Chains A and B, each alone.
Chain A
């Protein structure tokens, strides 16, 4: 081995070392390594020493890197930055356009990325969140893709599932809170004691529930959220053990949960135990979602398979509750998914689409700035060539221009981050209630890193353009071309610029068309016939607290006087009560039994939505009565049992025969109701969902002994004016009957509709915003490039005007060229531009028939003699329109040996 030669790692790393020091550096490492080799004992004994030397030698990379960094930091960076700042200050239009364009792109992308990060990427605030699963079912044959568990099925699965370490059940609810302030209605949840254990969240103060507290007859307890504890109880630790009335029940507070626990809802404030009687837990009352923790080694799919396998045994487990053919007829299958997927739901697709859209906006911004840089690079190619001729190597040139790109991008990044911060604030405040995990949305380290990455990437990209534009091969021709100012772009550069302008306009158009389509479907959604009229309707949910309203009679005694009082209020056209109203998110679907038809298929009854309403409900919501009549007080089931069905129900269940006079019963209780009317279909689940079957029962159903009166009811009031104006009077009326009844969610029905379409409208808003930004950027881009190019062509325009071209014709020329996608400004075609002709020396200018100047092409040099360039520069300078000073004249004159142009 040649001992004077540097070792391989050093020879490789030498490329990092600045050229001026490379030889000495290599020699130093060669000397050290060669010396060290002489100290290694020969043969096998020396293997350890050789290994050590190898490792030590490899570290020469660190040495080389330090030298490289030193050079950059010492000279390159400072000089480059100073140079960059000077260059940017000298071109305020260019700098401002570039920075603002990039800032918009970076800001929009960072803002939406912040949302995507918070909602889709950030881990849920639970221990080992990836092992949490949502356990449920679906019944595709009944049209229900999401069927929660029931208490009975929970017990069945809990005792059998081996792939889960724990299973819990919850049910969201709202409860009235008394004591410690005004009556307040809060979001709450009934949960099995295993709930907190499955989620892996311990109490901040006190404890969670014991197993016994999940059984009937146990003491009534509750745990509070940290938020409620702070707001209502002043974060007083002595709240533990205090008894507070919740929904009419005195509950002892046993714990406070940390603010990070926002489950099942973002706003859940109180958790209370779900009391399950193991002997009588209903199997068929599917209404409580389940969550589970994967057992070690088990996957989500494993749980799905196990649940599916166990489903077959459900009928055997509770033969008295599960109709034999139900499981098969309903097509009940397991639906197990990661908890995150359950929480995030279908919003993820919309978010990714919006992120893709703003990424396109960033691309447009980049194309924009790239274009500006390209135009600028054209005008600086001479500067680059000169620097090269004076000895600047490509590296130092790169650093100079990179500095410029990085300064611009850094500025844009900072402004973009500020924009993102503001944008995220606006997003969160506008976000509809359905957007999950809103509390997790914040500009954090990941977002900062992404923004910095975006800025760095764009800065590097744009900084390299001038260097790339002026490769070493072009040096001599660039210097020879020296005219600089009179010169216009070469064909290659122009093609690149035109390509960029075209692609950004195309991208902007794609976005516009996309958001236009979205807007159309949104409009279609807004204009869909919901089956009821929401204008001038006020909805006031009433939630009577448990203890005073345990029996149907007690609840009736509350509802009836309230309804009478409200109906008597001035401005009220019609008041009604219903257990739930369209689009309020509550559903009470159940099986129906149809006399004469369904009895033959008792195991597979049709499923429909059951509403309980008072007379006047159809008038209050302007639901059209198509046949027969609406409900009256006589239909309340004490004497007659009347029922009204929707059109789809009548047509499907009775196969087009007249439904009036037919009988049906609800929930297999074989209490028969007679159809007295058919009303129009109402889209009560969602505006974009076809109307399901709906059956309207009287609010008060049955006689005194079997009376059914719902636990909660919504006052539905049609008014003559603004529904919210009526709210104070309604509140008075309600409180005159029961001063402890909380009224916290009164809304105009229009708001219910707006909320039901909020996800779509929100997506439309975001996409529309992104497309508008894209359009503005596209326009700014085209303007910026044309303005800059025109600026570069001042001299040429001066020549044209000095030779008699009118301002109008020059404008027309610029416009036509712009419209052609940049036209053939510098092209070498038969009718090439002035600049190209000047470059070639002799140009034959002549008046175009249309009045504008044109240049008759060809090589005019021998025919016309020299001085064309000089003449042009002088003329332009004297015309005052070009700003070309003596330097310009000298430059042009020095390199244009061709003769004067002849004007024909």
Chain B
């Protein structure tokens, strides 16, 4: 897509589709996509900067209950919805990979 500002590579598409399927935390995305550990966060950062993803913190209460600090989760923006659709069109097998699977921690 012209003006997207980044290349829609396979790893990027995988991260996006994982987020749409409910894998919203960094480590969850790593587990769901199987991408190398060092690649997922840089992709998340880039997508956030480009306005494709937005991030927020999980409620303190949830984390407190488990005795741990809150996690930061990612979600699609309106622009992100369009981009993820493009990703799904380009990598249909990826979508099938995620269909039927559900996130553990979400």
- Residue ranges of A at the interface with B (Cβ–Cβ < 8 Å): 3-4, 24, 27-28, 30-32, 34-38, 55-56, 59-60, 62-63, 66-67, 70
Contacts and interface: CB of A to CB of B under 8 A. Distances in A.
Interface of B: 25-27, 30, 37-39, 41-42, 45-46, 49, 57-58, 63, 66-72, 105
B57 to A, nearest CB: 8
B41 A4 contact: no
Q: Which of A27, A32, A55, A70 has the most CB of B within 10 A?
A: A32
Contact of A63 (B42, B58, B69, B71): B42
A62 B26 CA distance: 14
Contacts of A59: 37-38, 41
Nearest to A55: B37
B30 A31 contact: no
Nearest to A32: B27
14 contacts: A3-B67, A3-B68, A4-B69, A27-B69, A31-B68, A32-B27, A32-B72, A35-B25, A35-B66, A35-B105, A37-B68, A55-B37, A62-B38, A62-B39
B59 to A, nearest CB: 12
B27 A36 contact: yes
B54 to A, nearest CB: 14
A65 to B, nearest CB: 9
A378 B19 CA distance: 54
Contacts of A60: 41
B45 A63 contact: yes
Contacts of A62: 38-39, 41-42
Contacts of A55: 37
Nearest to A60: B41
B37 A32 contact: no
Nearest to B36: A59
Contact of B72 (A31, A36, A38, A66): A31
A31 B37 contact: no
B37 A70 contact: no
A67 B43 CA distance: 11
Please list the 5 inter-chain residue pairs (A to B) with the smallest Cβ-Cβ separation, ordered nearest first: A31-B71, A63-B41, A34-B68, A62-B38, A59-B37
A28 B38 contact: no
A259 B67 CA distance: 74
Given A28-B72, A34-B68, A66-B42, 16 more contacts: A24-B72, A27-B70, A31-B63, A31-B68, A31-B69, A32-B26, A34-B69, A35-B66, A35-B71, A37-B68, A38-B68, A56-B37, A59-B37, A62-B41, A66-B46, A70-B45
Given A66-B45, A70-B45, A27 B72 contact: yes
B66 A38 contact: yes
A411 to B, nearest CB: 31
A55 to B, nearest CB: 7
A34 B68 CA distance: 6
Nearest to B41: A63
Residue of A28, A37, A59, A70 with most partner-chain B CB within 10 A? A28
A212 B36 CA distance: 62
A38 B68 CA distance: 9
B33 to A, nearest CB: 13
A872 B72 CA distance: 63
A35 B104 CA distance: 12
A56 B42 contact: no
A32 B67 contact: no
Contacts of B26: 28, 32
Q: Which of B39, B46, B70, B105 gathers most chain A CB within 10 Å? A: B70
Given A55-B37, A56-B30, A59-B37, A28 B71 contact: yes
A31 B66 CA distance: 11
A70 B42 CA distance: 10
Given A3-B67, A38-B68, A32 B25 contact: yes
Contacts of B105: 35
Contacts of B41: 59-60, 62-63, 66
A70 B27 contact: no
A30 B68 CA distance: 9
Contacts of A66: 41-42, 45-46
A35 B106 CA distance: 12
Contacts of B63: 31
A27 to B, nearest CB: 7
A396 to B, nearest CB: 19
A67 B27 CA distance: 18
Contacts of A35: 25, 27, 66, 68, 71, 105
Contacts of B25: 32, 35
A59 B66 CA distance: 25
Nearest to A21: B45
A60 B105 CA distance: 21
A653 B70 CA distance: 102
Contacts of B27: 32, 35-36, 56
